[in-house]
Amino acid sequence: QVQLVESGGGLVQPGGSLRLSCAASGSISSIYATAWYRQAPGNERELVAEIITGGGTNYADSVKGRFTISRDNAKNTVYLQMNSLKPEDAAVYYCVARVLFSNYWGQGTQVTVSS
């Protein structure tokens, strides 16, 4: 079992920045990748960014150059640094830990981008 706790969401103006955090506990060694997804009202959930245990990263085209995913192994925490935020980035952001044959989801954190 893996438990995930997200934090860092909030209200930011267009062009601003936020950093989301995802702290993992439990069977940490079973995680081979951690991802951030987001879902806006009326939209399907979409992959935003992913970091593989070996260090590789993947990003949605819509966030490339603006968002950066990273991790602190000592803190068992994955971060999503979001810069140059746009209104269309507003959504509930979810952290996902990938283990063999399953995914664990966090509870989500709201990001609102508005002036």
Strand, helix or coil for residue 28: helix
**Helix residue ranges per DSSP H, 1-115:** none
State the pLDDT at residue 53.
83
Residue 109: name the closest of 75, 86, 72, 82 by CA: 82
pLDDT digits (tens, 9 = 90+) for 45-83: 999 999 998 879 999 999 999 999 999 999 999 999 999
Handedness of CA 13, 47, 54, 5 (dihedral sign): positive
Query: What average pLDDT does range 108-112 have in this prediction?
Result: 97
pLDDT digits (tens, 9 = 90+) for 92-105: 999 999 999 999 99
**In which band, very low, low, confident or very high, does the pLDDT at 10 lie, cut at 50, 70 and 90?**
very high
Residue 68 CA to residue 25 CA, distance in Å, equals 22
Residue 32: name the closest of 105, 80, 96 by CA: 96
